[in-house]
Amino acid sequence: MQELIKGNKRFREKKFPELKENVEKLVKDGQKPEVLFIGCSDSRVTPDIMLDVNPGDMFILRNVGNFVPPFKCDEDYHGSAAAIEYAVSVLEVKHIIVCGHSHCGACQSLYTEIPLEKEKVVHVKKWLELGSKAKERTLSLIKDPNDKEKLYRLTEKISVTYQLKNLLTYPDVKRRVDNGSLQIHGWYYKLEDGSIDCYDQETQKFKNLEECINGKWSQKNTKKK
Ligand code: ZN
């Protein structure tokens, strides 16, 4: 905790003065981010730092595994769905990025039996079901499931494509993707070197972000599958 307290002091003294003017404008006018970034809660994934953005640039949703639960209209508390709806229907973001990452504990956990010990992880167990299609697809593609490195890295990438499909179950996401006012993107962040790959719908492969800058996932692509 001491490190966090010192960190905030350093932030206020060094970084905040540079941001002050921009932040004052954002406070006065309200936020208008163009991007909803959906990333994993993993402490090694750092959206603001890895994309070098400023306050006001990205609305950020983080959860275990960067999963997107399918649209479900009931009386339960749906935190991730609420963030997606707010970004799309109220803030009217122009882009949604679903960003997976290497060495994702959530994707690795798909291959481990989680014991239901005293309901300690009952929500985690249920939540991980959102990765089960990615697991099935990966196992159908991979030659040697004992090659854990390949198994996990492929699962992490395939999971991103399933989360993009789930995004399109949200009526307002689908409507806005169809009318061209919203683009959705699948990214993959590599912890090892800080680089990002982007899902290219033409080749159905991930390529370097700079080569794939306009890469987006469209409704046409979903219908084809
Ligand atoms: Zn993760």
Q: What is the distance in A from the centroid of ligand 1 to the CA of 27?
A: 32
Look up tokens 């590599």; give the residue: 190
3-class DSSP assignment, residue 220: helix
Q: What is the distance in A from the centroid of ligand 1 to the CA of 26?
A: 30
For the cut 50, the answer to whether the pLDDT of residue 224 exceeds it is no
Q: What is the distance in A from the centroid of ligand 1 to the CA of 113?
A: 18
CA distance 166 to 130: 9
Q: What is the distance in A from the centroid of ligand 1 to the CA of 55?
A: 23
DSSP codes of every residue in 138-163 = HHHH-S-TT-HHHHHHHHHHHHHHHH
Q: What is the distance in A from the centroid of ligand 1 to the CA of 104?
A: 4
| Contact partners, residue 44, CB within 8 Å, separation at least 6 | 101, 103, 191
Predicted TM-score (pTM) of the model is 0.92
| Contact partners, residue 140, CB within 8 Å, separation at least 6 | none
Residue 213 has a pLDDT of 61
Q: What is the distance in A from the centroid of ligand 1 to the CA of 30?
A: 31
pLDDT tens per residue across span 106-147: 999 999 987 767 678 889 999 999 999 999 999 999 999 899
Q: What is the distance in A from the centroid of ligand 1 to the CA of 189?
A: 10
CA distance 145 to 224: 28
CA distance 99 to 197: 9
Name the least confident of 37-46, 68-77, 156-165.
68-77
For the cut 80, the answer to whether the pLDDT of residue 56 exceeds it is yes
Q: What is the distance in A from the centroid of ligand 1 to the CA of 166?
A: 18
3-class DSSP assignment, residue 4: helix
Mean pLDDT of the chain: 92
Q: What is the distance in A from the centroid of ligand 1 to the CA of 125?
A: 15
pLDDT tens per residue across span 164-215: 999 999 999 999 999 999 999 999 999 999 999 999 888 889 999 888 765 5
Q: What is the distance in A from the centroid of ligand 1 to the CA of 20?
A: 32
